[in-house]
């Protein structure tokens, strides 16, 4: 396991910000850490990175226990904190040189120019951080996080506040980084998880309310991905089960069915099914966004 979190808790005053949570992140995995604002994501990540001491529980990175004194841990982890605090009055290169010094990186300029290339900062690298757009500031944040080539990246709301173009670019960058590294990525946006993650851990009010493959999670819930479809003639129950990814269906009127199934293939599977049965599709619509729906169900269930 790259990251192991076991029975972790943190209380601020009377409030349990993180309440006995456990989860693991496998090597090379991109895990989405999803939850509404105030759920405890940032608190958890600060503990994982060793910046905040837990009240109870244990964290291990590559089997090494995390503690505030343990500097070895810092070499393993790259951290992009929430709101990406940067020194606005430094130049991009100057800032990265400063970070390189903290990590005592060998041949710093060689590595800095490598990372500037990787993060698409070449045209901005001579500029003051203050003068950069939000998207480029995020790139600088990611650049400092990967400068010492850590195995594990902890990215706290890495794409919040970006415009749609910047969002696409930063997501692609995270995907590329994910090919080599283990990534724990927090977000309050369901689509973010769908776009980037292999697996999701859902947290609400300090408690983990879901953990697993996005598809599997959706199958465990009553209202997973649903498509309402009207065929040109009735179809018997048994036959509907032939639809790829079928989970269940409900009758919704004359020749009309609500089919629950695997989101990634359901629409296509219904088309294939219709063709194979010589049925015409008269109407078809998606009832809900699945991950949004999972998220809603899980976070309201626990409250």
Ligand X SMILES: Nc1ncnc2c1ncn2[C@@H]1O[C@H](COP(=O)(O)OP(=O)(O)O)[C@@H](O)[C@H]1O
Residues that bind Mg ion (CB under 5 A): 41-42, 82
Looking from the CA of 16 toward its CB, the CA atoms found within 13 Å total: 13
Candidates 33-41, 109-117, 215-223, 236-244; binding stretch for ligand X (CB under 6 A) = 33-41
| The binder of ligand X chosen from 3, 8, 23, 42 (CB under 6 A) | 42
Q: Which two tokens stand for residue 147?
A: 């400068």
| The binder of ligand X chosen from 14, 37, 63, 236 (CB under 6 A) | 37
Does the footprint of ligand X cover residue 35 (CB under 6 A)?
yes
> 63: phi > 0 → left, psi -120 to 50 → alpha, else beta; which?
left
Does the footprint of ligand X cover residue 43 (CB under 6 A)?
yes
Q: What is the 3-state secondary structure (H, E, C) of the chain?
A: CCEEEEEEEEEECCEEEEEEEEEEECCCCEEEEECCCCCCHHHHHHHHCCCCCCCEEEEEECCEECCCCCHHHHHHEEEECCCCCCCCCCEHHHHHHHHHHHCCCCCHHHHHHHHHHHCCCHHHCCCEHHHCCHHHHHHHHHHHHHCCCCCEEEEECCCCCCCHHHHHHHHHHHHHHHCCCEEEEEECCHHHHHHHCCEEEEEECCEEEEEEEHHHHHHCCCCCEEEEEEECCCCCHHHHCCCCCEEEEEEEECCEEEEEECCCCHHHHHHHHHHHCCCCEEEEEECCCHHHHHHHHHHHHCC
Does the footprint of ligand X cover residue 41 (CB under 6 A)?
yes
Candidates 38-46, 72-80, 84-92, 270-278; binding stretch for ligand X (CB under 6 A) = 38-46
Candidates 39-47, 140-148, 163-171, 176-184; binding stretch for ligand X (CB under 6 A) = 39-47
User: In whole angstroms, how close is the CB of 20 to ligand X at the nearest point?
Assistant: 15
User: In whole angstroms, how close is the CB of 281 to ligand X at the nearest point?
Assistant: 42
By a kind-dependent CB cut-off of 5 to 8 A, residue 17 interacts, out of ligand X, Mg ion, none, with ligand X
User: In whole angstroms, how close is the CB of 188 to ligand X at the nearest point?
Assistant: 7
User: In whole angstroms, how close is the CB of 80 to Mg ion at the nearest point?
Assistant: 12
User: In whole angstroms, how close is the CB of 34 to ligand X at the nearest point?
Assistant: 10
Candidates 11-19, 65-73, 247-255, 259-267; binding stretch for ligand X (CB under 6 A) = 11-19
Candidates 10-18, 93-101, 120-128, 251-259; binding stretch for ligand X (CB under 6 A) = 10-18
By a kind-dependent CB cut-off of 5 to 8 A, residue 38 interacts, out of Mg ion, ligand X, none, with ligand X
User: In whole angstroms, how close is the CB of 275 to ligand X at the nearest point?
Assistant: 46
Interface contacts to ligand X, rule CB under 6 A: 12, 15, 17, 35, 37-43
């Amino acid at each position: 396991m790259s990251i192991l979190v076991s029975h972790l808790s943190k209380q601020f005053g009377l409030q349990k910000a993180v309440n006995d949570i456990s989860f693991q992140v496998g090597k090379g995995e991109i895990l989405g850490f999803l939850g509404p604002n105030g759920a405890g994501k940032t608190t958890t990540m600060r503990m994982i990175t060793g910046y905040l001491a837990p009240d109870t529980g244990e964290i291990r990175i590559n089997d090494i226990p995390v503690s505030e004194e343990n500097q070895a841990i810092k070499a393993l982890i790259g951290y992009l904190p929430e709101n990406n605090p940067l020194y606005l009055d430094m130049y991009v290169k100057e800032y990265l040189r400063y970070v390189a010094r903290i990590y005592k990186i060998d041949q710093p300029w060689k590595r800095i120019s490598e990372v500037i290339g990787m993060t698409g900062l070449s045209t901005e690298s001579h500029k003051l951080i203050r003068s950069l757009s939000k998207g480029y500031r995020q790139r600088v944040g990611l650049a400092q996080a990967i400068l010492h080539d850590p195995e594990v990246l902890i990215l706290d709301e890495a794409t919040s506040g970006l415009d749609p173009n910047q969002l696409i670019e930063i997501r692609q960058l995270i995907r590329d980084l994910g090919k080599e590294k283990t990534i724990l990525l927090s977000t309050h946006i369901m689509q973010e998880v769908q776009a980037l993650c292999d697996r999701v851990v859902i947290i609400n009010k300090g408690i983990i309310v879901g953990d697993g493959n996005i598809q599997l999670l959706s199958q465990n819930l009553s209202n997973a991905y649903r498509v309402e479809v009207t065929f040109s003639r009735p179809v018997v129950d048994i036959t509907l089960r032939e639809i790829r990814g079928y989970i269940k269906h409900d009758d919704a009127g004359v020749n009309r069915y609500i089919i629950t199934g695997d989101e990634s293939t359901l629409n296509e599977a219904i088309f294939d099914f219709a063709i194979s049965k010589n049925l015409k599709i008269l109407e078809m619509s998606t009832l809900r966004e699945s991950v949004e729906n999972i998220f809603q169900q899980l976070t309201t269930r626990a409250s």
